[in-house]
Amino acid sequence: MLIVMKTGATAAEIDAVVRVIGELGYRAHPMPGAARTAIGITGNQSSIDPSHFENLPGVAEAVRVSKPYKLVTLDLHAEKTVVRVGDASIGGDELAIIAGPCAIESRAQAFAIAEAVRRSGARFFRGGAFKPRTSPYAFQGLGEEGLQILAEIRYTYGLKIVTEALDEAGMDLVERYGDMIQIGARSMQNFTLLRRAGKSRMPVLLKRGLSATLDEWLLAAEYIMSEGNYQVVLCERGIRTFSQHTRNTLDLAAVPAVRRVSHLPVIVDPSHGTGKNYMVTSLARAGVAVGADGLIVEVHNLPDQALSDGAQALTLEQYEQLVVEVRAIHEVMAPASVT
Ligand code: PEP
Ligand code: MN
């Protein structure tokens, strides 16, 4: 259920509704909007009687939400959410660019790439310290040492750090050193991790699972939000199909599909979405053209020597050119053309 407050409802009236929800044993999620506040209710196993709320001062209506997700939906928050990451943001007018290597391999590697990312005007630096690798024998990341390098990059270049946590201990560390927690495709249905991210005060980048439907992906976001963290960005990173010409199939239709049902920002990962260097820029352009709020792109100073995902890494020069091209596309897209 969702309680829609009247335009001009007072803070005291909103607080009173929140209190009644708590007294019934449920959790209240107040979402202020441009015109009015809506309050989502979670924690109920069966339907709630709307008469608990209909006569409370300031309440316009109590609406049943038929969709399986209650908080990610436009019914709760009609305006698009802008996720704030310090003084940068994702989901506003600016195209968010998150760039960096797949994994932090050394201080020299990370700094060489970060310098180019900074020069491009991007606000976010990515790089894994904990890597979810298919083989247990492949490079697993530098762990805390990698996070320390990332923290130095934040300090030196003012870039916001986006990095993955694989488990709850990793999340404690990412909270200490990073700016935004990445939940990887393989962890999208790690429900303990999702709940832990929901208790964090840090924004979360939630990648789509390799075989996740739109509803499963949105319900993963719902797990995070149901714990009180509403700062969630969705990332389309490609799904498994029978195609042999790419590592994954980048499902660009997911961008307008998310936009139709959810207020959350959505970005595109053309690197994991193709797995091939020569396709990354084309698919990045396409991602921006379908209305993504940003891109996450893998870049390496020496792609041939990368310890992970070298085949999809852009060189620094290719990356610089990509930024010029996607910015030009973003500029000519009037907000009205994005459905
Ligand atoms: C990554 O971003 O390096 C990564 C491992 O991505 P995904 O979880 O989408 O495979
Ligand atoms: Mn990678």
| Residues 191-247 pLDDT 10s | 999 999 999 999 999 999 999 999 999 999 999 999 999 999 999 999 999 999 999
Close Cβ partners of 253 (under 8 Å, ≥ 6 residues apart): 290
Cα(251) to centroid(ligand 2), Å = 18
Which residue from 135, 182, 298 has its CB within 8 A of the most atoms of ligand 1, so it is best to mutate? Answer: 182
CB 187 within 8 A of CB 235: no
Cα(173) to centroid(ligand 2), Å = 20
pLDDT at 66: 83
Atom 9 of ligand 1, nearest CA residue: 185
- Give pTM, 2 decimals: 0.97
Q: How many Cα atoms within 13 Å fall on the side-chain side of residue 261?
A: 20
Atom 8 of ligand 1, nearest CA residue: 184
Looking from the CA of residue 128, the nearest atom of ligand 1 is: 3
pLDDT at 304: 98
pLDDT at 45: 86
Given a cut of 50, the residues of the chain with pLDDT beneath it are: none
Strand partners, 126: 162
pLDDT at 337: 54
Q: Six-digit token pair at 317?
A: 């020069």
Q: What are phi and psi of 227, to 5 degrees?
A: -90, 0
Looking from the CA of residue 187, the nearest atom of ligand 1 is: 8
CB 312 within 8 A of CB 299: no
* Euclidean distance between CA atoms 25 and 10, whole angstroms: 23
pLDDT at 115: 98
The ligand with the least distance to the CA atom of 268 is 1
* Whether the CB of 240 sits within 6 Å of ligand 1: no
Cα(58) to centroid(ligand 1), Å = 45
Burial of 44 (0-12, 13-18, 19+ CB in 10 A): middle
Indicate the helix (H) or strand (E) that contains 232: strand 232-236
pLDDT at 338: 55
* Euclidean distance between CA atoms 119 and 97, whole angstroms: 12
* Whether the CB of 128 sits within 6 Å of ligand 1: yes
Portion of the chain with pLDDT greater than 90, in percent: 95
Burial of 161 (0-12, 13-18, 19+ CB in 10 A): buried
pLDDT at 182: 98
